Structure 1
């Protein structure tokens, strides 16, 4: 038996007046997910436990089958694993976003949490400058993808609180700067970075090309190295992860899973959807489990881009889910889980903790869910709410009878 998780990041949403009170998932043309819902089992999963922030880190840990209460230490330590950065016991990892801060009437606003989705190549040059000028004994900077990067504070402080930059898009940053022991050190580091970035040739060129400059860094998502059992230890399974996002790749590495690179996978709206589906099918020839992650619906949600979110959901259905279903005969007996990690409502532009709709499909028999389609409302009507970290056990329930 093969096990497949197809995850559309932030795919769930809330009813929108412009859509006649429907969600993007209800409006989108999703024949493949609808077929799975009609023949499989649907329900809702609480992927964000009470008391935890509704981040992709917590939510994806849950979908991977890990109880965040047992292993969650922060987002950045997971991303560090993807970047090949080994954390010492006293190291604190921080997500570093390149952002564009906009000055308006004497205040600074979060103009764009991604600095206009700065390219990986441009951002790499900025990180190189930060490392040359500010890195060394205490702080080290590591390049990631697009606007997402890493800073490690040796013997750093971790009694800190942060606001994710995508939570305050278009809002004043006042009241959202780091707080706690060590916050003053991080603010000084931010100020120093801003002086370097404001005159950097990369930003000068972006401004000349009418693009948003990366005029500041934004630290958040900190934590120490986590301790996690691998899938081999837990389930005796081999597996792979397909994602362009360091966070998801990092969870996979900690889970002992193989990371598969897909040409054209960007972590954005222009990602290679079909390539992810094709590589998933190929991966299952050599392993038992594959986790396919698509970031695009989440990016559209953060941007408040309703039409783009609908298109991203349709592309996920057609080119990821559809590609897997087209190749069921090649894959053989399998069980498939389709779900978002969390909702990213386009009208709120940030994550929420609401339970997400899931589909469980078994290629060997119908489950008679009575659902007419895949949506938040149908999953609520036809299924119960389960803790998110139980989704993997549900997917692998057949192993109990082996």
Structure 2
């Protein structure tokens, strides 16, 4: 138990954590501004003026984080001490159960040529309508010694949960992370993982035969093998009733993994999400709300500077709705940086905004952007320390010591 866990107390304050996935960027060669700085964000800028800024290191200086460890850090779990794979996040995101000895896996449909060379790692981003029947075909595969639960996630992605005796998650991914090469075998990284690797190889052979006649999704890759890490729940640690508003299954999975409730809603836009957030906070259903926006990361990975700017502007236009929930503390940040010029996650610190009108010590910021955050009053902090900052400003921490 951390020192923060031991100091937690309860009250009636309300907290909102708004995560714009991949928010951080790098200056554009044309105008010298990041996507966040280029975006017209009068509402976020006003919130920044009333609050205080800083920047966050997701995992460790110079380390590029995946989405799983980056979000765990935001929730106050040390990502260097928690081994979590993408598989369990995808599985939890679509409502699958992963027990202690199960192995969860994230799967992708991909495209290979007649020689088995990968030509498209995402099978042309096939639609849900195309992918769901293929998942049903994969679900018919039977391997002695394995019980397999497999479900569609989104587009080309699916999740698998393996159950059986002596299973290990200590295997290498089969996804080569590039085109022009063959998929890898599920290489075991320990003697105890050889049995699992052999079973998965048999399944892949069957999957290749089942999918071989399809034009795009004619092969699979597997990654993120993981057991359930058995984390102490967010609610237990912080005495908070926590809810999650997220569109993408993986982020609902992260929330479920730490014990948050996921909130169903119609629509996919920031307006839809923020309206839902306003409703559940004002109804006193939750006193902590995690709201996740994905588009900023997606456009960063696509290398589309202008669309990432537009995605940030859409959040700004809608955020007044979220503010109508009247939170005592609002945090706006990202899980990591995804500069469009890099088209990938990066190690750069992430912009951070804290709004807590009763307790905040304001700085001189006039705009929410990387340059202002660099000189903000909060300085540079590690993501795993954000929750202690939030709890302090919401009056939910007792004094330490006499």
Equivalent residue, structure 2, for 1:121:
129
Alpha carbons 1:115, 1:147 under 8 Å: kept: yes
Q: Distance in 2 between matches of 1:122 and 1:384?
A: 48
Change (3 A) 1:135 1:96: farther
Structure-1 residue corresponding to 2:43: 32
- The alpha-carbon distance between structure 1 residues 335 and 214, as it changes in their structure 2 partners (threshold 3 A), is same
Structure 2: state its 5+ residue gaps.
Answer: 1-12
Would the alpha carbon gap of residues 78 and 317 (structure 1) be closer, same or farther in structure 2, given more than 3 Å must change? same
Matches within 5 A, 1:95-134: 95-101=106-112, 108-109=117-118, 111=120, 113-134=121-142
1:237 aligned residue (235, 240, 243): 240
Distance 1:100 1:36 in 2: 46
Corresponding position of 1:207: none
- The match for 2:386 is 391
Q: Taking structure 2 as the reference length, what is the TM-score of the superposition? A: 0.83
Give distance in 2, aligned partners of 1:174 and 1:114.
14
Tell me whether 1:4 sits opposite 2:16 in the alignment: yes
The 5 Å alignment of 1:1-400 reads 1-17=13-29, 19-49=30-60, 54-101=65-112, 108-109=117-118, 111=120, 113-134=121-142, 137-138=145-146, 139-154=148-163, 155-162=166-173, 168=178, 171-173=179-181, 178-181=186-189, 182=194, 186=200, 189-200=203-214, 213-265=216-268, 272-284=269-281, 285=283, 286-319=285-318, 321-325=319-323, 327=324, 331-364=325-358, 367-382=361-376, 383-397=378-392, 398-400=395-397
**8 Å contact kept, 1:338–1:358:** yes
| Change over 3 Å in CA distance of 1:110–1:274 after alignment to 2 | farther
Distance 1:297 1:191 in 2: 37
CA distance in 2, matches of 1:11, 1:99: 28
Which piece of structure 1 moves more, 283-292 or 66-75?
66-75
- Give the Å deviation of 1:71: 3.1
Measure, in 2, the Cα distance between the counterparts of 1:5 and 1:361: 11
Equivalent pairs counted in the alignment come to 373
CA distance in 2, matches of 1:101, 1:53: 29
**Are residues 91 and 30 of structure 1, via their aligned partners in 2, closer, same or farther at CA, if it must alter by over 3 Å?**
same
Query: How far, CA to CA, are the matches of 1:177 and 1:358 in structure 2?
Result: 41
Structure 1 outlier segments of 4+, above 6 Å: none
Instruction: Measure the CA separation in 2 of the matches of 1:366 and 1:102.
Output: 58
Q: 1:294 Cα deviation (Å)?
A: 1.0
Listed as ranges, the gaps of 5+ residues in structure 1 are 204-212, 266-271
CA distance in 2, matches of 1:136, 1:281: 50
Which stretch has the larger CA shift, 276-285 or 370-379? 370-379
8 Å Cα contact 1:77-1:226 kept in structure 2: no
Does the 8 A contact of 1:39 with 1:367 survive in 2? no
Residue pair 1:107, 1:172 contacting (<8 A) in 2 also: no
Q: Please report the TM-score for the alignment, with normalisation by the length of structure 1.
A: 0.83
Aligned mates of 1:51, 1:97 — CA distance in 2: 29
- Rounded to whole Å, the distance in 2 between the matches of 1:315 and 1:74 is 31
2: CA distance, partners of 1:133 / 1:310: 44
Kept after mapping to 2: 8 A contact 1:75/1:222: yes
Contact 1:333–1:364 (CA under 8 A) maintained in structure 2: no
Deviations 1:210-235 (A, max 9, x none): xxx22322211121112112232112
Structure 1 residues 8 and 136: CA distance shift in structure 2, 3 A: farther
Q: Aligned partners of 2:136 and 2:352: how far apart in 1?
A: 42
Looking at secondary structure, tell me which structure has more helix per residue. 1
Q: Deviations over 1:92-120 (max 9, x none)?
A: 111112234468xx783453x43333333
> Cα distance 1:118–1:323, how it changes in 2: closer, same or farther (>3 A)?
farther
**In 2, Cα distance between equivalents of 1:175 and 1:99:** 10
